[in-house]
Structures are given as C-alpha cells and as structure tokens.
Amino acid sequence: MYDFAYHKPGSVADAVKLLTADPEARPISGGQTLLPALKHRLNRPTALVDLSGIAELKGIRKEGDTLTIGALARHVDVAESAEVTSAIPALARMAANIGDIQVRNRGTIGGSVANNDPAADYPAAVLGLGATIVTDRRRIAADDFFQGMFTTALEPGELLVAIEFPIPEKAGYAKMRNPASRYVMTGAFVARLRSGEVRVAINGAGPCVFRQAEMEKALSANWSPEAVANIRQSPEGLNSDIHGSAEYRAHLVTVMAKRAVAEAG
C-alpha cells in the first residue's frame, strides 16, 4: 500500500466536504473492493474517508411499495432483515449467498453498487428491479447508473446514500459462481414489477451488468422458465478468461435465467 491520510466523518455533509476538497480521496465502507485494490497498488488515494460512523447511511425501511436500504447496510443486515425478507425475498437470499461469512459481515450494499464490479451480485438486483440510487445531491435511475466496468454515473465527490427498491410481484436470482473466489461468473435477476413491467438483469457475464431485452419480452408474454429456454445470448462482448469462455458464459445466461424464473415462481 501507499501512504494516505485517514478521516472518519460523522455526517454525510462532512464526508462530502472531505471528498470534494480532495479529488484523489476515496470513500470506504466495508472495504471489500477498495482494500484489495490498495494492497495490489491498483489505486493510490491521497486519503480514505471512512463512512462507517455515519448513522444517516444506515437502516432498512419499508414505506408503501418501496423498500429503502441505506448504503452502509451490510450483506448480513440485508440477509437477516425481516423487512427485506417479507418485501423482496430474492434480495435477502442474494445477500445471504454473497462471498463467505467474513465478507457478509464487512461488505456493504452501497460499496458494492458504487464500485460496480462486474462480478458483484447487487448490481443485478438494482438493475433487475429498476431501483433508484439516492446520492447526497440527486436521484439516479438504475438504467442510467451502471455505465461500464467499475464505472457508474457518480460524479467526483458524490456519495451514494441509499437505494430505493420498488417491491415487485415476483423476483428471483440465480448465479454460477467461481468455486474458489465465490465471485459471480454469470448471474440472472428476473422481476415482474407491480406495474406489469418485466426486467431481466445479467451480471458476471460481461464487463458490466446489462438487461436482456429478448428474455424480458418473452417473459412478458409467458412468465415461465420455458419462455427463456430457447433464447440464446450472443457471446460477443462477454468476458472470457481462464475461468470460462465468452461462449460458456453466454450459455450460462440462459441457464441462470431459467433458474431465476423458477425460483421466483
């Protein structure tokens, strides 16, 4: 690691002030993405702004047809929340199967979404449910938030505060994960919203989470695993590495989508 300053603000306003004053400063919550990057010298911030003491960023609440999760909610908090389990069971199950117990007790939903690792779980739920990302200065629709590998619509100094999930009629998630790292090789989050809209989000397969429009159309007409069974994802542009080729990941898109629909019921 390189040397850096350390700050632990007590409010969102103070954190934003620190981040705005120093463009090379980086926020940190659970540190599950940033700390490995620092250890490998892939990132060289001048300062770390520790968000863990900011009460405004914590909490999970259900209001009407919306489930709001604070950025500092840990994976274990989401997994064990009665509000999440009753409102969006697929989201609770997703959180319960992220990484291992150490990761689930440190990692946060805000950090996962803000970093937009292509192999992370939460971006699929955010995009698949058409959630809204709330920052210290604006609200961003999920369709506009994820822009590329480790790239989002967040501007320098902008802080993710919470995520608002519309409560769906049905939702399901399935993934194939690397047995060693537990990162997602390919996953699919499917949802039928109360508005009637059907959304299918694919993570792990490509450089960034994306929607599968052909599957959405098929499921709108017939909500069943059979509706997506013969839809083939193009391997063009998908990830290809020692863990799996682009063609293999393309095949997994169909397999995981079928399983996700079956889980959703």
pLDDT band at 132 (very low <50, low <70, confident <90, very high): very high
Q: What is d(CA 119, CA 105) in angstroms, rounded to the nearest whole number?
A: 19
**Alpha carbon distances (Å) from 9 to 19, 179, 197, 265:** 11, 38, 41, 44
Provide CB contacts within 8 A for 124, sequence distance 6+.
94, 173, 184, 187, 188, 189, 201, 202, 203, 209
Q: Tell me the C-alpha distance between 187 and 177, whole Å.
A: 8
Q: Do 40 and 136 belong to one domain?
A: yes
Closest among 231, 227, 236, 249 to 183, alpha carbons compared? 249
Q: What is the mean pLDDT of residues 1-17?
A: 93
Is residue 1 pLDDT above 80, yes or no?
no
Which of these three, 166, 187, 203, is where a domain ends?
166
pLDDT of residue 179: 86
pLDDT digits (tens, 9 = 90+) for 142-182: 999 999 999 999 999 999 999 999 999 999 999 999 988 88
Residue 175 parent element (H or E): strand 170-177
Q: What is the pLDDT of residue 264?
A: 98
224 plus 137 within the same structural domain: no
pLDDT for 37: 84
Give the model confidence (pLDDT) of 38-90 as tens digits.
888 888 999 999 999 999 999 999 999 999 999 999 999 999 999 999 999 99
Q: What confidence tier does 257 reach under pLDDT thresholds 50, 70, 90?
A: very high
> Which pLDDT score, from 0 to 100, does residue 40 have?
84
Residue 66: give its domain's CATH number: 3.30.465.10
Q: How many structural domains does the chain have?
A: 2
CB contact burial 198-215 (16+ within 10 A = b; e otherwise): bbbbbbbbbebbbbbeeb
Closest of 170, 176, 213 to residue 192, by C-alpha: 170
Residues with Cβ within 8 Å of 31's Cβ and at least 6 positions away in sequence, in order, are 106, 111
The pLDDT tens digits for 158-167 are 999 999 999 9
Asked if residue 197 and residue 99 are part of one domain, the reply reads: no
Same domain, 211 and 87: no
Q: In which residue are the tokens 């709108």 written?
A: 220
Distance of CA 30 to the CA centre of its chain: 14
Q: Average pLDDT, stretch 127-155? A: 97
**Chain position carrying tokens 């919203």:** 193
Q: Which of 136, 166, 196 is the last residue of a domain?
A: 166
Split at pLDDT 50, 70, 90, the class of 21 is very high
184 and 129, same domain (yes or no): no
Give me 77's structure tokens.
């908090």
Mean pLDDT for the chain overall: 96
Taking alpha carbons only, the member of 238, 250, 121 closest to residue 182 is 121
pLDDT of residue 36: 86
Q: What pLDDT does residue 117 have? A: 93
Based on its alpha-carbon atoms, the radius of gyration of the chain, rounded to whole angstroms, reads 18
Residue 113, pLDDT above cutoff 80: yes
Show the domain range for 241: 170-264
- Domain's final residue, options 166, 195, 230: 166
| Number of CB atoms found within 10 A of residue 26's CB | 17
What average pLDDT does this structure show over 231-260? 97
- Whether residues 16 and 98 fall in one domain: yes
- Residue with token string 């542009």: 237
pLDDT for the residue numbered 181: 83
